[in-house]
Amino acid sequence: MNTPGYRLWLSIGGLAAAGSVVVLVLIWTFSAALSLGSATCHNAPLRQTQLPQLVGVGVALAGFLLGRVTARPKVDRRSEIRSWAPAEDNRNRAAAALATQAALVAALLFFGVLMAFETVTLASHVWPITYYLRCASEAAPYRTLVAAFAFCFLAGRWLWLPSTAEEGGGESA
């Protein structure tokens, strides 16, 4: 049986580190929100903060690309990936495929609802989601960059699967 070795542990370590950063940032955010002495933002938050916006875009893009590079071990054939997993019957594989497609549809629906919320709040002069991100960048720019990197790293790992040369090159494995 062919095992992935150190790449698997590197992948798990990167995933655990990024997940831990996101959880720590969420805990920090909730504790700061409950604290009376937490930093406040301008109404509306500043567009220019300590760090230029292009730095934030660059950090997010770097996290996304690093997530893509570390997404999965490189493989030659799908059968190589299947050899790592325990044997399953076709019914279990069909259920897993259906659950994956349902999760993707749910995620896209959620993003659509967020975009609609952003549009409605902008039209009614209520703080949209982007203002909360600007406020975070204004109040704690370095923590916001670390959180953006970790989130984009996780998104980069999730959105790309390896392709195999034998099975069509451009298709996802």
Q: pLDDT tens digit string along 69-90? A: 877 655 556 666 566 566 656 6
In the three-class reduction of DSSP (H, G, I as helix; E, B as strand; rest coil), residue 86 is classed as coil
CA distance 133 to 137: 6
In the three-class reduction of DSSP (H, G, I as helix; E, B as strand; rest coil), residue 166 is classed as coil
Give how far the C-alpha of residue 77 lies from the chain's centroid of Cα atoms, to the nearest Å: 27
Contact 150, 22 (CB under 8 A): yes
Please name the residue that has the structure tokens 């991100």.
Answer: 133
The pTM of the whole model exceeds 0.85? no
Tell me: the pLDDT tens digits for 105-155?
998 999 999 999 989 988 898 888 888 888 888 888 888 899 999 989 988
Taking alpha carbons only, the member of 168, 171, 167 closest to residue 77 is 167
The dihedrals phi and psi of 169, each to the nearest 5 degrees, come to: 65, -65
Which positions ≥6 away from 117 have C-beta within 8 Å?
128, 129
Looking at residue 154, its pLDDT comes to: 87
CA distance 41 to 32: 13
Q: Is the pLDDT of residue 167 over 50?
A: no
CA distance 64 to 80: 26
